Every structure is written in structure tokens, then in C-alpha cells.
Amino acid sequence: MGARSSKNTTQNNRSDGHLLEYFRKSFIRGGGANAGPNIPPPPPLIAATGGDINGLEPGNNYAYHTFTSTVGPSTFIIESISPQHPGFIDVLVVAGGGGGGKTAVPVGNGSGGGGAGGVVRHATYNVSSGPYPLTIPVSVGGGGAGGISSPNIGQNGSDSTFGGLTAKGGGGGGYFGIAGSPGGSGGGGGGY
């Protein structure tokens, strides 16, 4: 911002000095606009526990609960829900991938790769019915083991579940002309 001076230099120096001092006090030190009271953020519209919780992401106001342990079942618990909340949560369920077929011995006996674990997304999973706390069972499927001698095909991955949603495990890979197994994504077939 600039200030234009008038012809009288004596007054200009004084007025410009006062003007600069005003700007210095008002804006550099934060006095230009009145700061509002220190208001705490509003309480969350939904209070939930379970899994690894990542804080609210900038711009979307979601809290992310991530379940990764394949040991035993887990639970997602909704402690309370505000009347302003629409009563839906966004759920993504991913199953374990299938194992690959047996390593090719002798060289030239092809083995197929395991199929990816299935994916289920439910963007409007209804949690409005309660009663609260509302407990939803969760299980995370692990990946299938690779093929070994007899059988030579890879094992299927395990299913993952969230409440009534199920994502199917990936199919195991085939070996030496044997087809891969079906699954969330089917395993690759073995070549000759």
C-alpha cells in the first residue's frame, strides 16, 4: 500500500510518519482486524472407536478407522451419533490376495500369480438404527500361501467382513497347465 504526499514537505513527513506508524501498529502486530473469541471446535457428529484412527483429513471432515490385523475378530463401535448426522458411514472392505503357484522347476514350467482380494464399498452403510453403543464385527482376511509340492497351486486368500458385508479372498495361482482358483479376483493359470 502506498501513500501520496502533498506539496508541504514538513507536514508530509509528519503525516507520512503518523500513517506509517498507524499501519505498523494496526497490521504488522495484528491489530487491524479484531480477532474473534477462542471458540473450541464443535463436537464430532459421530463418536466411534476401533482400529487405527487417523484424524480428520483436511477438507472432508472424515475420521478414518483402519483395521489391518488378521489375528482374531475386531469390533468397530459407534458410541454416539448426533441428531445432525445423516446416519451413514462410508465402508471399504478389502480381502486377502491369493498365493502364487509353485515356483517353476524345472525352468519352463510356468506358475500363475495369485488373484487380488475382492473389494466391497458401501458409501451409505446405515448406522442410524442404534441402540448405542452399536458394535459392528470386523475381520481382516490374510493372504494365501504360495504353492508347494502336492498341491502345487497357491492357496486362496481369506475373506474380509464388516458387519454383513463380505469381500471374497483372491484365488490361488495355478501351476504347469493347471488353472488358477476362483476368488475375489481369480488366480492366474499355470503355463507349460
Residue 179 belongs to a domain: no
R_g of the chain computed on alpha carbons: 31
pLDDT digits (tens, 9 = 90+) for 58-105: 667 788 999 999 888 899 999 999 888 889 999 999 999 999 998 766
pLDDT value of position 35: 56
Q: Is there a contact between 94 and 160 (Cβ–Cβ < 8 Å)?
A: yes
- DSSP class of 175: B
pTM above 0.75, yes or no: no
Residue 77 belongs to a domain: yes
> How far apart, in whole angstroms, are the C-alpha atoms of residue 65 and residue 34?
39
pLDDT value of position 11: 46
Residue 15 belongs to a domain: no
DSSP three-state, residue 85: coil
Spans of the chain below 50 pLDDT: 1-15, 17, 19-20, 22-23, 26-32
Question: What total of structural domains would you count in the chain?
Answer: 1
Residue 37 belongs to a domain: no
Residue 101 belongs to a domain: yes
Residue 183 belongs to a domain: no
Range of the domain at 88: 46-167
Residue 85 belongs to a domain: yes
Residue 23 belongs to a domain: no
Amino acid at 97: G
